[in-house]
C-alpha cells in the first residue's frame, strides 16, 4: 500500500487531510535499532524494522533528531540542520529510509529544533572566534555581565535543566541558554536566522518529508530590552503574549511564514507544535495559518482517573474545534516516565501537576526504582486501558517507541552511564529522562535483545527479555498484539472527529460513542462494570460474562 492509498478517513473520508486522525509513532533513533553494531541506533536500523511499524499499523513516524550532534541533550543540540549524524548514517540512508517508509504507506515527520543550536554549530563557533561586538555574535544572545569585571551573569535566570541560564565565554561576555550550556539560544530577530530555517524546512520537504515536529515552539522570540527583569520579576508577569521569554504573540509571524512554505507543497507539509503554554493559547499554534496542530500534554500529567480523563478530553476537543485543527493525545514520549510506570506509582494529585510530569516518578527513580514500590502488573493494566481509551478518541494519537511492548521505565541505570543533562545540571537531584530512552528489546535471546550486536549506549535490564517484540508477537494476549488489533480496527472504523458521552451511572466508568456507533468503555474503578448489549471487538484485559473488568477498556463495534 502506498502513502496515497492510505489516506485516513474523517467526517468526509475522501477529503480529510491525512494527519487529522493519524497514529504517529515516535522513533528516538539512537535507541530504536542499531544496524552497524556501534551501540547507537541508526537510520539503517529504522529501515530494518519498517516491517514492525507496518504490522503495528501506524500512519506516520516522527523521528527525533538524527542530525550531527555531540549529544549534550540526546540530539536536541543540533550542529548541522541539513545533514545526518555520521554515526546514524548518511543523507543517502535518509532517502532510503523515506522510501522504505513511504513504500509501506507510512509518512515521515522530522524534528526541527529552532530555539537553540548546538555550541558546535558553525554559527556559534564563528561567534566565539569573532569576539564581542561582531556580526557573528548577533545571531545569538550575547550580553555583558554584571558586577566587577562583568563576572556575574546578566540576570539570575535559571535554565530549564537547572543552573544559570547564562554561560561566560573566554573573552568575558555571556550567552543565553534556556536549556543545556551546549544549547545557545538563537536570536530570532535576526533575518539570517529566519532565512536559514526556511531553507532547512525546504531541504527536508524536498527530500520527501511529510511534516515537522517543532521543538519548544513557544520560546523562539524574546523581548530582551534593557533593563532585563530579574527572575522574581519574571515570575510576576502574566503569560499574555507579551511575556519577555515565553509564548509571545510575535512568534506566530515566524509560523505564518513557515505555513506559506508548507503550503507550497502538495500535499501541504504538516507541523505539530511542542508548546508548553496556557491551554487557552494552544489554538494560536494549532491554527491552520500557523503550525496547524499542537501537542496536548494534559494526559501526560494526569492520574489514571475517570474525572480527570473526561475533563481533559472535553476541554481539548473544544480547543481543537476552536483552532480548526484536530486534537492530539500523548501518554508517553522521550521526555517523561513511561505511562505503564506512572500508573504503577501512587497517584500524583492535582496539586503537583505541571510540566513536572517529567518529574512524575522522579522520587522512585532517585531511589533506584525501589521506593515507593512499583505495582508493575497494575501499572501495565492501567496503561493498556488508557491506551485503548486514547486510541478511540477523535484526533491523532502519538505513540512512543516501546509503549507497544508495554515497557516500564528503566530505573537501574548507574550514575556513570547516565546521559541526560538534567541529571548533571541538577547535581543528581533529578534523574532525568534516560530511563525511557533505553534501546528497545526486539528478541529475547539475542545480544542486546536484538537491538544490535554492540554494547547498547544505555544499559538494558534483564527483565527486557520478557517484553521482547518476538516473544509478544507470538502471544495473542500481549500488549503488542493489543496495539496491533486496536490500530487495525481504528483504521477500519475511523469516523467523524466527534464523540458523545453516554451515561454509565458510575463516576469511575466512562463511555463514549463515535458518530458511526463505535463505542469505547473504560472502567477506571475496582468493581466490574456490566456492559449490557454490544459485541466486544477488543479489550485491554481478559473479559467474561459481559462485564468490563476493573481498570480496563473495551471497544464495541460500530453499527453495521
Q: Is 400 in the site for ligand GLC (CB under 6 A)?
A: no
In angstroms, give the least distance from the CB of 113 to ligand GLC: 6
Query: Where are the alpha helices (H) located in 238-368, listed in sequence order?
Result: 251-262, 282-286, 306-323, 339-342, 362-366
CB of 461 to ligand GLC, least distance (A): 22
Compute how many residues bind ligand GLC; rule: CB under 6 A: 10
The DSSP call for residue 500 is E
Instruction: State which of positions 262-321 bind ligand GLC (CB under 6 A).
Output: 274
Q: What angle do CA 355, 361, 364 make, to 5 degrees?
A: 150
Angle formed by the axes of helices 376-391 and 479-493, to 10°?
10
Closer to ligand GLC by CB, 59 or 73: give it.
73
Single out the catalytic residue among 119, 167, 215, 247. Answer: 215
Which residue is at the shortest CB distance from ligand GLC?
76
Options 25, 28, 76, 464; binder of ligand GLC; rule CB under 6 A: 76
* 265's grid cell: 507543497
| 215 forms part of the interface with ligand GLC (CB under 6 A) | yes
Strand partners, 23: 397
Q: Nearest to residue 197, comparing CAs of 291, 90, 98, 325?
A: 291
Using the minimum distance from each CB to ligand GLC, give the nearer residue, 74 or 211: 74
d(CA 295, CA 52): 25
Residue 94 C-alpha cell reads as 535518509
Stretch that binds ligand GLC, among 71-79, 94-102, 119-127, 320-328 (CB under 6 A): 71-79
User: Rounded to an integer, what distance in angstroms lies between the CA atom of residue 510 and that of residue 522?
Assistant: 5
Measured CA to CA, the distance from residue 73 to residue 556 in angstroms comes to 43
Tell me: does residue 182 bind ligand GLC (CB under 6 A): no
Contact 161, 425 (CB under 8 A): yes
With H, G, I as helix, E, B as strand and everything else as coil, classify residue 121.
Answer: coil
Q: Among this protein's residues, is 138 annotated catalytic?
A: no
Residue number, 335 or 519, with CB nearest to ligand GLC = 335
If the CB atoms of residues 252 and 334 are measured against ligand GLC, the closer one turns out to be: 334
Give exposure, 421-445, as e/b (b: 16+ Cβ within 10 Å): bbbbbbeeebbbbbbbbbbbbbebe
The stretch among 46-54, 68-76, 380-388, 549-557 that binds ligand GLC (CB under 6 A) is: 68-76
Question: Counting contacts by CB under 6 A, is residue 73 touching ligand GLC?
Answer: yes
Q: Which stretch binds ligand GLC (CB under 6 A): 73-81, 125-133, 377-385, 529-537?
A: 73-81
Q: Nearest distance from residue 78's CB to ligand GLC, in Å?
A: 9
3-state secondary structure of 134: coil
What is the chain's alpha carbon radius of gyration, rounded to the nearest angstrom?
Answer: 23
What contacts 452, CB < 8 A, 6 or more positions away? 33, 34, 35, 36, 37, 38, 39, 41, 45, 439
Q: Which is nearer to ligand GLC, 49 or 334 (CB)?
A: 334
Query: Among residues 140, 179, 449, 518, which is the contact residue for ligand GLC, using CB under 6 A?
Result: 179
Site residues (CB under 6 A) for ligand GLC, limited to 92-151: 113
Whole-angstrom distance, CA of residue 181 vs CA of residue 167: 7
Nearer to ligand GLC by Cβ, of 179 and 343: the residue is 179
By CB under 6 A, the residues from 324 to 363 that bind ligand GLC are: 334-335
**Given the rule CB under 6 A, which of 3-11, 70-78, 151-159, 204-212 is the region that contacts ligand GLC?**
70-78
Tell which one of 60, 79, 216, 391 touches ligand GLC (CB under 6 A): 216
Q: Which is nearer to ligand GLC, 432 or 439 (CB)?
A: 432
* Cα–Cα distance for residue pair 98/446, rounded to 1 Å: 28
Catalytic annotation present for 373: no
For the chain, the straight-line distance linking the first and the last C-alpha, in angstroms and rounded, comes to: 26
Least distance from ligand GLC to the Cβ atom of residue 214, Å: 10
Cell representation of residue 85: 549524524
Query: Minimal CA–CA distance to 32: which of 401, 357, 436?
Result: 401
CB of 335 to ligand GLC, least distance (A): 5
Pick the piece of the chain touching ligand GLC (CB under 6 A) from 2-10, 72-80, 294-302, 316-324. 72-80
Would you please indicate which residues are annotated as catalytic (active-site) residues?
215, 264
Residues engaged in binding ligand GLC (CB under 6 A): 73-74, 76, 113, 179, 215-216, 274, 334-335
Amino acid at each position: 500500500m502506498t502513502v496515497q492509498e492510505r489516506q485516513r478517513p474523517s467526517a468526509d473520508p475522501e477529503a480529510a487531510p491525512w494527519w487529522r486522525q493519524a497514529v504517529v509513532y515516535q522513533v528516538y533513533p539512537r535507541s530504536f535499532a542499531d544496524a552497524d553494531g556501534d551501540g547507537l541506533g541508526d537510520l539503517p536500523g529504522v529501515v530494518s524494522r519498517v516491517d514492525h511499524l507496518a504490522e503495528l499499523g501506524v500512519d506516520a513516524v516522527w523521528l527525533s533528531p538524527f542530525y550531527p550532534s555531540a549529544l549534550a541533550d540526546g540530539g536536541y543540540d543540533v550542529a548541522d540542520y541539513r545533514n545526518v549524524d555520521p554515526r546514524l548514517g548518511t543523507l543517502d540512508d535518509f532517502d532510503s529510509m523515506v522510501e522504505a517508509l513511504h513504500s509501506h504507506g507510512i509518512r515521515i515527520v522530522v524534528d526541527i529544533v529552532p530555539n537553540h543550536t548546538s555550541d558546535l554549530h558553525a554559527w556559534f563557533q564563528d561567534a566565539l572566534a569573532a569576539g564581542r561586538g561582531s556580526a557573528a555574535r548577533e545571531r545569538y544572545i550575547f550580553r555583558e555581565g554584571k558586577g566587577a569585571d562583568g563576572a556575574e551573569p546578566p540576570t539570575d535566570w535559571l535554565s530549564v535543566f537547572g543552573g544559570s541560564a547564562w554561560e561566560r565565554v573566554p573573552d568575558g561576555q555571556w550567552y543565553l541558554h534556556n536549556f543545556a550550556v551546549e544549547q545557545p539560544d538563537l536570536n530570532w530577530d535576526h533575518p539570517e536566522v529566519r532565512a536559514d530555517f526556511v531553507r532547512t524546512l525546504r531541504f527536508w520537504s524536498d527530500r520527501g518529508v511529510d511534516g515537522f515536529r517543532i521543538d519548544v515552539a513557544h520560546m523562539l522570540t524574546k523581548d530582551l530590552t534593557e533593563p532585563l527583569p530579574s527572575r522574581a520579576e519574571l515570575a510576576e508577569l502574566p503569560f499574555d503574549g507579551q511575556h519577555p521569554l515565553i509564548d509571545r504573540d510575535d512568534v506566530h509571524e515566524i509560523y505564518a511564514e513557515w505555513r506559506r512554505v508548507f503550503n507550497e507543497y502538495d500535499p501541504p507539509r504538516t507541523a505539530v507544535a511542542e508548546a508548553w503554554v496556557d491551554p487557552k493559547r494552544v489554538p494560536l499554534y494549532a491554527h491552520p495559518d500557523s503550525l496547524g496542530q499542537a501537542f496536548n500534554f494534559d494526559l501526560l500529567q494526569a492520574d489514571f482517573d475517570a474525572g480527570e480523563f473526561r475533563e481533559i478530553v472535553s476541554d481539548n476537543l473544544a480547543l481543537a474545534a476552536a483552532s480548526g485543527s484536530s486534537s492530539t493525545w500523548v501518554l508517553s514520549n522521550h521526555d517523561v516516565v513511561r505511562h505503564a510506570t506512572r500508573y504503577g506509582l501512587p497517584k500524583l494529585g492535582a496539586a503537583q501537576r505541571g510540566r513536572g510530569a517529567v518529574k512524575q516518578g522522579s522520587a522512585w527513580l532517585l531511589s533506584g526504582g525501589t521506593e515507593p514500590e512499583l505495582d508493575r502488573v497494575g501499572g501495565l493494566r492501567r496503561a493498556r486501558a488508557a491506551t485503548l481509551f486514547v486510541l478511540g478518541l477523535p484526533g491523532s494519537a502519538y505513540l512512543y517507541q516501546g509503549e507497544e511492548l508495554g515497557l516500564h521505565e528503566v530505573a537501574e541505570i548507574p550514575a556513570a552511564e547516565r546521559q541526560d543533562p538534567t541529571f548533571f545540571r541538577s547535581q543528581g537531584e533529578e534523574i532525568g529522562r534516560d530511563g525511557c530512552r533505553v534501546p528497545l528489546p526486539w528478541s529475547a535471546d539475542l545480544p542486546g535483545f536484538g537491538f544490535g550486536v554492540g554494547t547498547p549506549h544505555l544499559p538494558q535490564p534483564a527483565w527486557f527479555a520478557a517484553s521482547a517484540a518476538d516473544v509478544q508477537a507470538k502471544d495473542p494476549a500481549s500488549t503488542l498484539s493489543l496495539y496491533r488489533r486496536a490500530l487495525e480496527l481504528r483504521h477500519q472504523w475511523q469516523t467523524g472527529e466527534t464523540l458523545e458521552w453516554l451515561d454509565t451511572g458510575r463516576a469511575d466508568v466512562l463511555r463514549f460513542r463515535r458518530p458511526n456507533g463505535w463505542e469505547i468503555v473504560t472502567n477506571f474503578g475496582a468493581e466490574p462494570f456490566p456492559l449490557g448489549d454490544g459485541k466486544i471487538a477488543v479489550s485491554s484485559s481478559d473479559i467474561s460474562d459481559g462485564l468490563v473488568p476493573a481498570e480496563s477498556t473495551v471497544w464495541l463495534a460500530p453499527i453495521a
